[in-house]
Structure 1
Amino acid sequence: MPLTRAQPVPGPEAKETVAPAVDLVLGASACCLACVFTNPLEVVKTRLQLQGELQARGTYPRHYRGFVASVVAVARADGLCGLQKGLAAGLVYQGLMNGVRFYCYSLACQAGLAQQPGGTVVAGAVAGALGAFVGSPAYLVKTQLQAQTVAAMAVGHQHPHQSVLDALGTIWRQRGLAGLWQGVGGAVPRVMVGSAAQLATFASAKAWVQEQQWLPEDSWLVALAGGMISSVAVVTVMTPFDVVSTRLYNQPVDGAGRGRLYGGLADCLVKIWRQEGPLALYKGLGPTYLRLGPHTILSMLFWDELRKLAGRAQHQGS
């Protein structure tokens, strides 16, 4: 089946359908736009999650105490520009991960998987796993750059990277190609469950809002409402994996490329549970929601609106 024109997909995903290749561009663009607004929240969330790691090892830094105080602490230590640490890497990650994710999801919908029971969940999970794998090196660099700060405020291992390219080059020279995928074992489950929850609940929430007829069917407010409902599900299932991913990506490694603190996803989960308690898996929940919530809302809203525009332009062109 040619990919130049998507076949109509009945169901709640979108009234206007577009080709998967177009969805690649639209999904990546939508999530990059959202990243610009939410990256400061990602910086704060990363610091809070790494702070818990130090406390578990017997040191008790309290540099970051809740969301507002943490924003102030980052701004004081690194300047206002410090709130956008890792933005370039974040944009690369969002573009790669979500381009692949939305492309694969669109292919699955075009093939009719979305009409099968649980199809949107399966399609979202598989698409998310593939996107996470492709984008993992950029997420690695993003996490390590966002952890960087002055010594007095440092939490987590400090990697001396000067830029995205410097980080990629340093990791490549020290650990080879495999080093660029450090932490991917935590990232794939994280994005897989988040993607499944996001795409499935967004589609269902949009359909439910339209059925209630509270808003005009073609209004952007329908997508906004769907994104708000979807954001709660995403944060609930994704936060524990997000904590684990942050720690796996930022941990120091030995000469063989093995993590010095955690042996992988399961080892990290067990150590956090034993040393810090089960609630530690929701460390930074407030900032995580304040980051993932708006990011989910904005990215799904932008994606939905861009799809409408692209679908209409495609229809007019035909």
Structure 2
Amino acid sequence: MGKSNLTEFGLGGTAACCAGFFTNPLEVVKTRLQLQGELMKRGHYTVHYRNSFHAFYTIGKTDGIFALQKGLVPALWYQMFMNGVRLGSYQVLANVGFTVDENGSVKWGASVIAGAFSGCLGAAVGSPFYMVKTHLQARANQAIAVGTQHPHDSMVKGFTLIFKEHGVTGLWRGTTAAVSRVMVGSAAQLSTFSTAKEYIVSLKLFPVNSVFNSLLASILGGFVVVACMTPFDVVSTRMYNQPVDLSGKGTMYRNVPNCFAQIFKKEGVWGFYKGVGASLFRLVPHTVLSLVFWDQLRILYGKLTSDS
């Protein structure tokens, strides 16, 4: 792989980490809301978190303000690996002309395929970090605990315990859920962002390299991602956080289709949109920050290399 392609992976991962630091508290809130009332009908479980704002208040009051940054270390590593591979491979495909025609215009269909493919790669690589991140973010004071409570309280302890009990394959448990989640989200996000940015630039509202072109396009991308990805996000959180037996298999959900079926049967359609408010508050700013950082880092890198 050439140096320019390696650079694309590095720029993508760095941009995602910058965004992840600011949006991790929203990820904690989203995870708690998605696990609350797991496989129970509305009205049949204790509501610890009424909505996103109440979740912020409750977590800060009960577990302390720093609890809102639980899972930050694996979250940043996940962003580096997952989005480094995802954004990097997408840009590599763009660089070789897969997503653009001979005139440099974005090919929407090819962009969707490239986004889905790069999302699959990123999700598979970053899966162990996402699992441990989910475990740590779900861990709470018993008074407000939701979902399965895993014993580890750090990324290193999490990896060590999982590897000791279930081997290397245990670290990739739940990857199928992560792949479907990121594949849908990435295809929606990157195709929308690329197409929207091209259109916004064509309107000449701002200079070609203005950050506002990236900002407006990424906001559109964020809303599309929330609409498409939330059900897959809920399933992914449930698959990763469920308890496992001695063989390392989940005891609540056999696989992704079974998880979808159980949620629909016991929680209804609403179950797939638990935490949608937190997802919106988290995904839109995360998408905006990730794509703006990514776009601007690429522009900055281009300027630095052209001047040297």
Q: Same fold (TM over 0.5)?
A: yes
1:198 corresponds to: 189
Change (3 A) 1:178 1:185: same
Pairing partner for 2:35 from 50, 64, 75 = 50
Pairing partner for 1:302 from 276, 293, 301 = 293
Q: Separation in 2 of the partners of 1:226 and 1:26? A: 19
Kept in 1: contact 2:209–2:299 (CA 8 A):
no
What is the deviation of 1:56?
4.3
1:128 corresponds to: 119
What are the equivalent positions in structure 2 for 1:242-281 lying under 5 Å apart?
A: 242-281=233-272
TM-score by length of 2: 0.95
Q: Separation in 2 of the partners of 1:228 and 1:58? A: 35
Q: Separation in 2 of the partners of 1:158 and 1:134? A: 25
What secondary structure does 1:113 align onto? Answer: coil
What are the equivalent positions in structure 2 for 1:44-193 lying under 5 Å apart?
A: 44-53=29-38, 55-56=40-41, 60-115=45-100, 117=107, 118-193=109-184
Kept in 2: contact 1:54–1:155 (CA 8 A):
no
Kept in 1: contact 2:39–2:263 (CA 8 A):
no
Kept in 1: contact 2:11–2:88 (CA 8 A):
no
Q: Separation in 2 of the partners of 1:61 and 1:89? A: 29
What is the deviation of 1:23?
1.2
Kept in 2: contact 1:30–1:302 (CA 8 A):
yes
2:201 corresponds to: 210
Kept in 1: contact 2:115–2:187 (CA 8 A):
yes
What secondary structure does 2:40 align onto? Answer: helix
Kept in 1: contact 2:226–2:283 (CA 8 A):
yes
What is the deviation of 1:110?
2.2
1:3 corresponds to: 2
Kept in 1: contact 2:39–2:267 (CA 8 A):
no
Q: Deviations over 1:129-157 (max 9, x none)?
A: 01100000000000000000011111000
Kept in 2: contact 1:235–1:292 (CA 8 A):
yes
1:228 corresponds to: 219
Q: Deviations over 1:179-226 (max 9, x none)?
A: 101111100010011111111111111111112222222211111111
Kept in 1: contact 2:177–2:236 (CA 8 A):
yes
What is the deviation of 1:278?
1.1
What is the deviation of 1:236?
0.9
Q: Deviations over 1:241-260 (max 9, x none)?
A: 00000000000000111111
Q: Deviations over 1:239-290 (max 9, x none)?
A: 0100000000000000111111000100000111111111211111000010
Kept in 2: contact 1:273–1:280 (CA 8 A):
yes
What secondary structure does 1:72 align onto? Answer: helix
Kept in 1: contact 2:39–2:262 (CA 8 A):
no
Q: Separation in 1 of the partners of 2:96 and 2:203? A: 29
2:275 corresponds to: 284
What is the deviation of 1:58?
8.9
* Residue identity (%): 47
Q: Separation in 2 of the partners of 1:188 and 1:206? A: 26
Change (3 A) 1:58 1:266: farther
Q: Separation in 2 of the partners of 1:57 and 1:252? A: 22
Q: Separation in 1 of the partners of 2:7 and 2:69? A: 29
Kept in 2: contact 1:190–1:241 (CA 8 A):
yes
Pairing partner for 1:27 from 12, 26, 31 = 12
Q: Deviations over 1:83-114 (max 9, x none)?
A: 00000010010001011112211221122111
Q: Separation in 1 of the partners of 2:300 and 2:153? A: 39
Over 6 Å off, 4+ runs: none
What is the deviation of 1:52?
2.8
What secondary structure does 1:24 align onto? Answer: helix
Kept in 2: contact 1:55–1:61 (CA 8 A):
no
Q: Deviations over 1:32-88 (max 9, x none)?
A: 010111000000000001003053499502000001111001101210000000000
Kept in 2: contact 1:54–1:61 (CA 8 A):
no
Q: Separation in 2 of the partners of 1:58 and 1:229? A: 35
Q: Separation in 1 of the partners of 2:40 and 2:55? A: 17
